[in-house]
């Protein structure tokens, strides 16, 4: 539906006595998103935009978009934006923040972008403790380029380049980069959230808000991983993909805070997470 049609339909319903209870935040543009229906990128965009809106920082925020399915993020957020080369968002965000310390700077990256080609930039920005917010959308695959294996692809998970499932002897172990960077002294807040249910979305939004509040207080680097589905790449319906994510991604990538206020959370055993990789079998 074109935006003008949506507005007309909305007006029609209001004229019939309906009340508007859920509106689009002004920090998202009217551009129609290209994401596949049910993809977590759209939901994640929305909650990042809502946080920016609620904090009243729209005119002070600069986003850095990646290469991946969210390459066009600059077209969807109504804030200043820079496009980074593949994987280089944390380096670009570092420069933007250092040159403009009063701005709020956030990166938005997928797992191929952040945890494969951009591993060095990610680790060093985290280790330097740059005062930025990093949003990391982990769907376990290279969504944009056709579903190839990413560092985050699970053991046994099928992808375009692991058609019989990821094998540790051939492809190595999945990379839990979020646990890894939580051990670096420069990270102040590290958390893993998801966006497949309304309750999960609310928690993810609170985490993103925390990450921006930390930046306001100049606390250093806040890192929010969002577990997400790539229903097209996984060759599932959105409903199947969300269920599969809960059954398979979550045991391998547990949801919750890993580091808060610069300290590892007590009951999170980062060392165990480094070695324990439950097998996944694609349905």
Ligand X SMILES: Cc1ncc(C[n+]2csc(CCOP(=O)(O)OP(=O)(O)O)c2C)c(N)n1
Residues that bind ligand X (CB under 6 A): 67-70, 86, 110-113, 117, 137, 139, 141-145, 150, 230
Is 44 among the residues that bind ligand SF4 (CB under 6 A)?
no
Interface residue with ligand SF4, options 25, 27, 28, 39 (CB under 6 A) = 39
**Phi, psi (rounded to 5 degrees) for 247:** -75, -30
Kindly tell me which of 61 and 231 has the beta carbon lying closer to ligand SF4: 231
Query: Which residues ranging from 112 to 151 are in contact with ligand SF4 (CB under 6 A)?
Result: 139, 143-144
What binding mask, one character per residue, do residues 194-223 give for Mg ion by CB under 5 A, x or -?
A: ------------------------------
Kindly tell me which of 69 and 79 has the beta carbon lying closer to ligand X: 69
Q: CB of residue 112 vs ligand X: minimum separation in angstroms? A: 3
CA-to-CA distance for 29 and 26, rounded, in angstroms? 7
Is 130 among the residues that bind Mg ion (CB under 5 A)?
no
Interface residue with Mg ion, options 78, 111, 121, 225 (CB under 5 A) = 111
Q: CB of residue 232 vs ligand SF4: minimum separation in angstroms? A: 4
Q: CB of residue 113 vs ligand SF4: minimum separation in angstroms? A: 12
Q: Which does 232 bind (CB under 5 to 8 A by kind): Mg ion, ligand X, ligand SF4, none?
A: ligand SF4
Q: Are 184 and 123 in contact (CB under 8 A)?
A: yes
Interface residue with ligand SF4, options 28, 47, 48, 69 (CB under 6 A) = 69
């Amino acid at each position: 539906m074109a935006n003008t049609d949506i507005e007309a339909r909305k007006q029609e319903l209001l004229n019939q006595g309906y009340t508007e209870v859920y509106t689009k935040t002004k920090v998202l543009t009217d551009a129609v998103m290209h994401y596949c229906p049910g993809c977590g990128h759209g939901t994640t965009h929305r909650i990042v935009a809502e946080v920016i809106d609620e904090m009243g920082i729209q005119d002070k925020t600069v986003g850095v978009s990646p290469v991946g399915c969210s390459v066009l993020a600059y077209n969807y957020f109504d804030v200043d934006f820079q496009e980074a080369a593949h994987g280089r968002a944390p380096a670009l965000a570092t420069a933007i923040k250092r040159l403009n310390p009063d701005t709020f700077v956030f990166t938005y990256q997928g797992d191929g972008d952040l945890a494969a080609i951009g591993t060095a930039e990610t680790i060093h920005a985290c280790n330097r403790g740059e005062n930025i917010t990093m949003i990391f959308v982990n769907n376990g695959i290279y969504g944009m380029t056709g579903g190839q294996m990413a560092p985050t692809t699970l053991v046994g998970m099928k992808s375009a380049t692991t058609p019989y499932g990821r094998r540790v002897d051939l492809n190595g172990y999945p990379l839990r980069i979020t646990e890894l960077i939580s051990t670096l002294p420069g990270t102040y807040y590290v958390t893993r959230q998801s966006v497949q249910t309304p309750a999960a979305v609310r928690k993810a939004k609170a985490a993103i808000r925390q990450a921006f509040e930390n930046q306001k207080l100049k606390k250093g680097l806040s890192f929010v991983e969002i577990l997400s589905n790539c229903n097209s790449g996984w060759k599932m319906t959105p409903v199947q993909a969300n269920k599969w994510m809960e059954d398979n991604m979550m045991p391998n990538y547990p949801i919750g805070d890993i580091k808060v206020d610069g300290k590892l959370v007590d009951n999170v055993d980062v060392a165990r997470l480094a070695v324990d990789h439950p097998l996944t079998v694609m349905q």
